[in-house]
Structure 1
Amino acid sequence: MSEVEPFVAGLNDNTRHKVVDLLNDRLADTISLTLAVKQAHWNLKGPGFIGVHELLDDVADRLRESSDLIAERAAILGGFARGTTEVVAQKTTMAAYPVEEHDIQVHIEALRERFVDVGQKIRAAIEEAGEAGDDDTEDLFTEVSRQIDKDAWFIAANAPLKGNAQTA
């Protein structure tokens, strides 16, 4: 990390460097998740289309807000936000999203899996930021975690209930 004047007091250089790396790791996953949501939004078809289609636009907007919080925190700490497509493609830990899929239920399940995965990594980042001594970044990740969990729930609520087979 190039030395840039940090805009926060009370964090040593080692903590700042560690937290900026952590922020950038989760930034890559959050951007990747945003792109997966848009991929589903553009391509899904099936019962309940319009509701899910519109929901995914709102979810993508909230994910972009979360990405912005994460990226700005990295800059505030004197680092650089690394959110280009090249960096995201290299650093994301999220599983690749299917690009040739139409079935709405396949998209819902694929998104649910990725929201759970990214949510777990964000929760781990909460703990890592706390252990590093950066309470503000810990709080930021908590805020992002809550939104990811809520959006995962919104998306998954569109899946058929298991054990409720309909008979003709």
Structure 2
Amino acid sequence: MNPALHPSKIDLSEATRREMAELLNARLADAVDLLTQMKQAHWNVKGPSFIALHELFDTIHGEVLTHVDNLAERVVTMGGVAFGTAAVAAHRSILPTYPLDISSGSDHVEAVSGALAAFGGVIRRAIAAAGTAGDADTEDLFVEISRAVDKSLWLVEAHAQGGDGTPQGEESRRQGDARLAHSTPMV
């Protein structure tokens, strides 16, 4: 998939524009894959943290959708053709395959955090490649995406960081139940 570039008066060489279009399309495939993985998690999560995770995964999906659009539009800005179909993403994405046989919140947290971390890693490598190529605007786009993905990763990982392995809020509920069991009945 390396069609001719459309003409542009942008002040980057054709070789740089071609290189950036290819790099952007590679990360676009990953972003489209990540987009569908977020919906997979959103639709199928179960357990005590259901609503929090259901909403979080949907919020991240919306953010990734913005990244998809920005990546695709930057490809076209370079004079390239954006390859953003699900079929292209399935063929070209380098993200780990999302497990389809999970339902618990903790399993989805693990899978989503793994996908976000992998995407963040390839985006950071893209930052370096765009900088080396001398395309500060594409580099900046990748920096913006990296920052947002790192924040999303933090929000997801926080669900697994209860300290003792219990879901967030579970220990507080247990302590409250214990206090009620040992309190003097109100008369």
1:101-152 deviation line (CA, Å, top 9, x unaligned): 1111000001111111110100000000010110000000000001101011
RMSD: 1.6
- Distance, in Å, in 1 between the alignment partners of 2:28 and 2:163 is 33
Cross-structure match for 2:115: 114
* Structure 2 alignment gaps of length 5 or more: 179-187
How far residue 161 of structure 1 moved from its aligned partner, in angstroms, is 2.6
Q: TM-score, length-normalised on structure 1?
A: 0.94
- Distance, in Å, in 1 between the alignment partners of 2:140 and 2:159 is 30
The runs of 4+ residues in structure 1 deviating greater than 6 Å are 165-168
How far residue 99 of structure 1 moved from its aligned partner, in angstroms, is 1.3
* Structure 1 alignment gaps of length 5 or more: none
Q: From the superposition, tell whether residues 73 and 41 of structure 1 become closer, same or farther in structure 2 (CA, over 3 Å).
A: same
Identity of aligned residues (%): 40
- Distance, in Å, in 2 between the alignment partners of 1:142 and 1:3 is 25
- Distance, in Å, in 1 between the alignment partners of 2:11 and 2:5 is 16
Cross-structure match for 1:72: 73
The question of whether the paired residues in 1 share the 8 Å contact of 2:5 and 2:18 is answered with no
Q: TM-score, length-normalised on structure 2?
A: 0.85
Q: Which amino acid aligns with 1:3?
A: L
1:41-76 deviation line (CA, Å, top 9, x unaligned): 000101111011011111100000011000000001
Structure with bigger gyration radius: 2
Alignment length (residue pairs): 167
The SS at the match of 1:158 is: helix
